């Protein structure tokens, strides 16, 4: 299931058709924030492969990473400083340095088939979700705002 839209979507659709994968891949298009979690909880693996195209990319923490965590979905992320630190701190998936299709496919396969690792990640995701939530951040943000008054 591929959720979202972008400039490569027509190429992805064509690629699936040419590979006779249309019966196995569903393109959902853009989904409202209110409905996104309904899709995310169905995922077996959350993927955030960002390129290091500058400081804003290098130190990014994409919203989708937190969506995966809150939905209990193990992740595979680019080995960029902040994403790697988060994944490694909570032990909720893996990081990867390559975008080579064969290496990515091997990593996906291993992550999806390694039942002991998946079980550990699922347990660790519960801890991460409990710590990385708005309820824990709200008071910190309000404290900063009150100091500005």
pLDDT in tens, 106-115: 999 999 999 9
- Statement: residue 72 has pLDDT above 80: yes
Q: How confident is the model at residue 53 (pLDDT cuts 50, 70, 90)?
A: very high
pTM of the model: 0.88
Q: How confident is the model at residue 67 (pLDDT cuts 50, 70, 90)?
A: very high
**pLDDT reported for residue 93:** 98
Q: To which residue do tokens 């396969």 refer? A: 109
Q: What is the largest CA-CA distance in the chain?
A: 61
**pLDDT reported for residue 58:** 94
State the DSSP string of 38-103: HHHTT-S-EEE-----SHHHHT---HHHHHHHHTT--EEEE--HHHHHHHHHHT-EEEES---HHH
**pLDDT reported for residue 78:** 97
**pLDDT reported for residue 149:** 75
**pLDDT reported for residue 103:** 96
Q: How confident is the model at residue 137 (pLDDT cuts 50, 70, 90)?
A: confident
């Amino acid at each position: 299931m591929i959720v979202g839209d972008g400039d490569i979507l027509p190429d992805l659709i064509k690629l699936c058709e040419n590979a006779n994968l249309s019966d196995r891949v569903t393109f959902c298009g853009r989904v409202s924030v209110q409905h996104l979690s309904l899709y995310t909880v169905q995922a077996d693996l959350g993927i955030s492969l960002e390129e290091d195209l500058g400081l804003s990319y290098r130190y990014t923490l994409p919203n989708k990473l937190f969506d995966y965590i809150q939905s209990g979905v193990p992740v595979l992320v680019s080995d960029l400083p902040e994403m790697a630190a988060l994944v490694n701190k909570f032990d909720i998936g893996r990081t990867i340095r390559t975008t080579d299709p064969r290496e990515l496919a091997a990593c996906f396969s291993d992550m999806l088939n390694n039942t002991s690792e998946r079980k550990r990640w699922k347990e660790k995701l519960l801890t991460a979700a409990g710590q990385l939530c708005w309820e824990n951040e709200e008071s910190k943000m309000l404290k900063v705002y009150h100091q500005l008054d």
